[in-house]
Structure 1
């Protein structure tokens, strides 16, 4: 089952996505205006069941950022060994993971353009898997971490590279330009550890394979991410963790290969799907 947020006929809806089109379910759950509300209330399983065997309601629709009103999005930086080596600073694997926040306004949906701002043209791609928390927890043991995941999705954690260097201790400025990244196309219910443990993440730009790695190679596996983050904050249903990108981002080529208008970026994981976006310059 694939569950997403989408717009049809000028209305923001959510529901199931099939090969034939979208199945609007939001009208059946008025107590939950958005997909975030569904998950925050523990209703994701009920929504998934409601979508089974239903007929398509919309064939003409556009995908939105999968959870456009997500409250808390945390991203794990530099989380693959080769990615750490890309920095060429001689540093060993860090003892603790790097984290930074992103906001929902920085993401667009599947088949929508990433927006390159006029202030800076170093727009880069980062293909990642994102997890959505379904069960609250504090100081979650790593062995129990997967019990707290409701769903999986994909992320292109688009970055304006020059702006991550504007300050000494953070990268927030370069990570939150409006619609510079994408998340979707949909949420896939999480039910089997193999969905993450065996996942192979690939990113292509104009059909060229740029990133290709397995999640099992992460320096800080997803179980550890949940355990570590929940040490200092109570994870809540609807929280999103963007889990880290492999080597191969455009900034690490010589010369760098940043995104330009007309490019097509695809982030894929078998069993989750493909998140596809074009690139446009911001309209005046």
Structure 2
């Protein structure tokens, strides 16, 4: 699975102009210019459930732009909802050492789009805390609206896949008794991307390796088959209480190994490089800076 090359579609900026296109080893096929009237942004392509059509249009085209000349942006610029799963790997559940068995239902929280940056951008440590941590995760992009979606139909609603570093300010997730919203939503503390990989079938996500490296050192390393709540279940469960719509984002949980679990904890500091990688999805990379 790790050696399979699948289509990759990215949002980017080139010479001050926003666009999107097909990413190849030879360069970028600028599809945003070609389809500007029909789909002004990649969000619009996903909203029309036409990602496969877009890939087909660019599959035989010659790249227009060198990879080195683009600046990656968030794949989905205006997600309607970003729903994150708090604890979704058994080893991660065991980290809490609270004597509780595997939960019956997933822990969920919401993130705002401004809390994420794109591939190769700086993630920011805020002046309010030095406890910036990393969490590597697989991400689902919804492409088809649904409510109370049956598990057997759940993956029919997925348009694409991407990756996230669900960066967290650890002391701020403990400010209140029952919520983690504050520590999960500092501006520019997480990253998402680099691109969208169109969803084809369950083999892309059912049992793939997910790793997070900090300065080249593997900190998180697990497989999605170990998730307590699989992708089908997450879509089924979440759509019970809210209508999932095209462009909505589900961030599916992180394995054990975050910096908070070291003794003593190891927080990210300016200059650190974080890389999240998953089979078939590529590598999301970002460097840490201090917010001014």
Q: Classify the TM-score, shorter chain.
A: over 0.9
Match of 1:25 in 2: 31
2:101 equivalent to 1:101: no
**Which whole-Å deviations, capped at 9, do the CAs of 1:184-214 have from their partners, x for residues lacking one?**
0000011121111121101111111110111
Q: Secondary structure at the match of 1:36?
A: helix
2:87 equivalent to 1:81: no
Give the superposition deviation at 1:43.
2.0
**Which whole-Å deviations, capped at 9, do the CAs of 1:127-172 have from their partners, x for residues lacking one?**
0000111111111111211111111100000011111111111111
Match of 2:248 in 1: 239
Counterparts of 2:84 and 2:118, CA distance in 1: 18
Is the CA contact 1:106–1:178 (under 8 Å) kept in the aligned structure 2?
yes
Residue number among 136, 141, 148 corresponding to 1:132 in the alignment: 141
Counterparts of 2:117 and 2:25, CA distance in 1: 21
Is the CA contact 2:13–2:70 (under 8 Å) kept in the aligned structure 1?
yes
List runs of 5+ in structure 2 lacking aligned partners: 1-6
Give the superposition deviation at 1:32.
2.0
Is the CA contact 2:80–2:245 (under 8 Å) kept in the aligned structure 1?
no
Residue number among 56, 66, 73 corresponding to 1:64 in the alignment: 73
Aligned residues: CA RMSD: 1.0
Counterparts of 1:179 and 1:22, CA distance in 2: 26
Give the superposition deviation at 1:28.
2.1
Q: Secondary structure at the match of 1:230?
A: helix
Match of 2:60 in 1: 53
2:234 equivalent to 1:225: yes
Counterparts of 2:128 and 2:64, CA distance in 1: 41
Runs of 4+ residues deviating >4 angstroms: none
Counterparts of 1:238 and 1:100, CA distance in 2: 17
Is the CA contact 1:265–1:278 (under 8 Å) kept in the aligned structure 2?
yes
Counterparts of 2:119 and 2:126, CA distance in 1: 19
- TM-score (structure 2 length as normaliser): 0.95
Give the superposition deviation at 1:111.
1.1
Give the superposition deviation at 1:281.
0.7
**Which whole-Å deviations, capped at 9, do the CAs of 1:67-108 have from their partners, x for residues lacking one?**
122221100111111101111111111111111111111111
Counterparts of 2:45 and 2:112, CA distance in 1: 19
Residue number among 152, 156, 166 corresponding to 1:147 in the alignment: 156
Residue number among 35, 41, 47 corresponding to 1:40 in the alignment: 47
- TM-score (structure 1 length as normaliser): 0.97
**Which whole-Å deviations, capped at 9, do the CAs of 1:235-275 have from their partners, x for residues lacking one?**
11111100000000000111001100111111111211000
